Amino acid sequence: MRRFILIFIMCACAWGPLGAQTLGDFLSDAKSGDAVAQYNAAMCYLHGWGTEADSSRWHHFMRLAAEGGLEEAAERLAEHYAPVAPELAAYWSGQESTLPYKYHYRSFDQGCYYGELRRGMRDGYGTFVWDDGRILSAYWEDGEQYGTCRIADTHQLTYGYFNDFSGTGAILLSDGHQFEGVEGATIYVGYIEEGVPSDHGAFYDAEGRNLYYGPLKEGRPSGVATPAGYPYSWTRESYEGGDSWEGESIEGVRQGFGIYRWADGAWWCGFWERGVREGTGLYMRADGALITGLWSNDVLQ
C-alpha cells in the first residue's frame, strides 16, 4: 500500500504543478513526520514539481524519509552516496559493514553523521553530510573536526590539514568554475580559512601552469603574478590498471600537495617530498574506512 501511495503522488506531480494549498498540506504532513509525505516532498523538490527545484530540500526530506524507515528513500540515498561516501551507501543499502571499527548513525538538524562515537559525541573517524550537499570525511575529537580531512562540495573538493576548518591544503574546482581574481585558475594550494583561500598560496590553471604564488587578501591575490621560472606545477598522471595521481611537482617529481586515487575507489591525500609521502595525510579505503596520520618516507608512522 505504501509503495502505491508513493507512485500515485509522483504521477500526480508529473501530470502538472501542484496547487499552493495542496503543496502546503503536503509539506505539513512531511514536517509532521510522515515518511511517505517526506519522500514525495523530496521528489517534488528534486524535479521541480509544483515548486522550485531545491537540492538541499531534496536531500533533507529524503534523509528524513529514510530515517523514518521508508525503504525507497534508503535505496535512493544509497545510490546517491555510492560515488562519494561508500560507507554511507553501504549503511543505507543494508550491507554488512567491512569497516575496521564500529560506526554509528546520528541525525542532526542540518545533516547526518556516520562514524565513531564516544560518550555520545563524534569522536574518531567519521563522515558528516550536510543537507546542502557538503560531505566532510575526517577525524573528530569531542564533536569537532580535527586533522587532515576531505570536503566534497557541489563544485569543489577541499583537502587539507584543518583545525576548526582552517589550515593548509588544496581546493580543486569543477564544472567550469574558477577562482575570482586569477583568470583561468581552477586549483589552489596554500592556507585555507573556512573554505576560502587566505593569507598565502598558489593558483594553477587546468593545464597545471602556475598563475600566481604569493600573499592573498579576501581570497584574491594581493601581489604581482608569479615570475617565470617558478619551479612548481600541477601534474596529472594515469597508470595502467586505473590508478591516477595529481598534485604539485618540481621537474616531474612529486613535491608539495598531491592526491593518489586507486582504481577500486580508495584515495590518499596529503603532502609529498622528493616523490614519496611525507607529512600529514588522509587515506580512505574503498569501503569508506578512514586512516589519518603522519607519513614518513611513504610509510604511516
* Same domain, yes or no: 291 and 153: yes
> Residue 271's pLDDT band (boundaries 50, 70, 90)?
very high
> Does some domain include residue 6?
yes
pLDDT of the residue at 25: 67
DSSP state, residue 50:
S
Helix (H, G, I), strand (E, B) or coil at 139: strand
As a whole number of angstroms, the distance between CA 85 and CA 76 comes to: 14
> Does some domain include residue 263?
yes
Task: Please calculate the CA angle 138-288-127 and round it to the nearest 5 degrees.
Answer: 35
* Same domain, yes or no: 168 and 66: no
Q: Are 156 and 150 in contact (CB under 8 A)?
A: no
Q: Which of 28, 53, 80 is the last residue of a domain?
A: 80
* End-to-end CA, the chain: 56
* Same domain, yes or no: 170 and 76: no
Q: Are 288 and 99 in contact (CB under 8 A)?
A: yes
Q: Which of 30, 56, 80 is the last residue of a domain?
A: 80
> Residue 182's pLDDT band (boundaries 50, 70, 90)?
very high
> Does some domain include residue 202?
yes
> Residue 154's pLDDT band (boundaries 50, 70, 90)?
confident
> Does some domain include residue 224?
yes
**Cα–Cα distances in angstroms (integers) from residue 129 to residues 104, 166, 243, 259, 296, in the given order:** 14, 19, 27, 22, 31
19 pLDDT higher than 50: no
Q: Which of 80, 104, 124 is the last residue of a domain?
A: 80
> Does some domain include residue 261?
yes
Helix (H, G, I), strand (E, B) or coil at 176: coil
* Same domain, yes or no: 296 and 161: yes
pLDDT of the residue at 164: 80
Task: Please calculate the CA angle 260-254-159 and round it to the nearest 5 degrees.
Answer: 45
> Does some domain include residue 100?
no
Mean pLDDT across the chain: 89
pLDDT of the residue at 24: 64
* Same domain, yes or no: 151 and 284: yes
> Residue 9's pLDDT band (boundaries 50, 70, 90)?
very low
* Same domain, yes or no: 157 and 70: no
* Same domain, yes or no: 293 and 150: yes
> Residue 26's pLDDT band (boundaries 50, 70, 90)?
confident
* Same domain, yes or no: 160 and 287: yes
Question: pLDDT tens digits for 90-145?
Answer: 999 999 999 988 999 999 999 999 999 999 999 999 999 999 999 999 999 999 99
246: cell is 595529481
Question: pLDDT tens digits for 213-263?
Answer: 999 998 899 988 888 889 999 999 999 999 999 999 999 999 999 999 999
157 pLDDT higher than 90: yes
* Same domain, yes or no: 177 and 284: yes
pLDDT of the residue at 273: 96
Q: Which domain holds residue 35?
A: 2-80
Tell me what the mean pLDDT of segment 193-202 comes to.
Answer: 93
Facing residues of 188 across strands?
171, 203
Q: Are 182 and 152 in contact (CB under 8 A)?
A: no
Helix (H, G, I), strand (E, B) or coil at 107: strand
Q: Are 262 and 255 in contact (CB under 8 A)?
A: no
Residues 6+ apart with CB under 8 A from 98: 90, 287, 289
- The total number of structural domains in the chain stands at 2
* Same domain, yes or no: 159 and 294: yes
Question: pLDDT tens digits for 35-71?
Answer: 999 999 999 999 888 888 999 999 999 999 999 999 9
> Does some domain include residue 244?
yes
Tell me what the mean pLDDT of segment 282-297 comes to.
Answer: 93
Q: Are 81 and 90 in contact (CB under 8 A)?
A: no
As a whole number of angstroms, the distance between CA 245 and CA 54 comes to: 34
Task: For the beta carbon of residue 19, count every other beta carbon within 10 angstroms.
Answer: 10
Task: For the beta carbon of residue 259, count every other beta carbon within 10 angstroms.
Answer: 20
* Same domain, yes or no: 151 and 267: yes
Task: Please calculate the CA angle 159-82-80 and round it to the nearest 5 degrees.
Answer: 100
> Does some domain include residue 182?
yes
Tell me the residue type at 175: D
pLDDT of the residue at 5: 46
- Counting other chains too, the contacts that 52-59 makes at CB distance below 8 Å and 24 or more residues apart are 55/132, 55/133, 55/154, 56/131, 56/132, 56/133, 57/131, 59/131, 59/132, 59/133
